Structure 1
């Protein structure tokens, strides 16, 4: 025969156990949810930082190429200046020689 009091004891024991588990599990699940949300925000921030770093790297590479081109152009100008200096020296010597010959 089924004892109603025994059944009521088991029902209340199960109810208490489930309530305790719910009371303990709910904050834990909420903290997991908060942690997951935090990880999601961190992941989003890292994605933005990664994108920014990629843009900076691209700018650095572009800057390197610009500096290379500038150095090449400076070298060409330096060579031209050197050539003009040599020509100027030749012309000065020629003028000096002409004036020297005229004075004789």
Structure 2
């Protein structure tokens, strides 16, 4: 599982990037099931960014295992939108029944 623990939106982020900013902000402090789900989310962001005519050639998406940045490509390179994540290593404080169900789902490949 992956947890998004940091979101940043620069004050210089243009209004026409708002759909991308909203998409990223919705994932802030959320859990994502696995790497393939993260890849689909990144593809969704790329699609959203590419659908904005004014952003073409001026902004690019950079993604790595622990961050997603929307950077400017003109003048000084600056990350105007950032979303950082980390792998969840353990979960605590859940009922025994929930833990059993999650473990069963993981074994089945459902989570």
From the two aligned structures, give the one with the greater strand fraction: 2
From the two aligned structures, give the one with the greater helix fraction: 1
Indicate the structure whose relative CO is greater, using CA pairs within 8 Å and at least 6 residues apart: 2
Q: How does the TM-score come out when normalised to structure 2? A: 0.20
Q: How does the TM-score come out when normalised to structure 1? A: 0.21
